[in-house]
Amino acid sequence: MSRRAWAAAVIGTLKIQILVIGALSTAFWAVAGTQYAIACAASGAAVCIPHFVTGLVLWMRTALTGHLSAATLLGSEGLKLLLIIAALYGARRWLGPDMMWPGFIAGLIGALMAQWLSLWVSRNS
What are the tens digits of pLDDT across the range 50-89? 999 998 888 888 888 888 889 999 999 999 999 999 999 9
CB 57 within 8 A of CB 79: no
Query: Residue 11: which domain range?
Result: 3-123
Total number of domains constituting the chain: 1
Dist CA 46 CA 91 (whole Å): 7
3 has pLDDT over 70: no
pLDDT range class, residue 119, cuts 50, 70, 90: confident
Dist CA 107 CA 78 (whole Å): 21
Provide the pLDDT for residue 64: 87
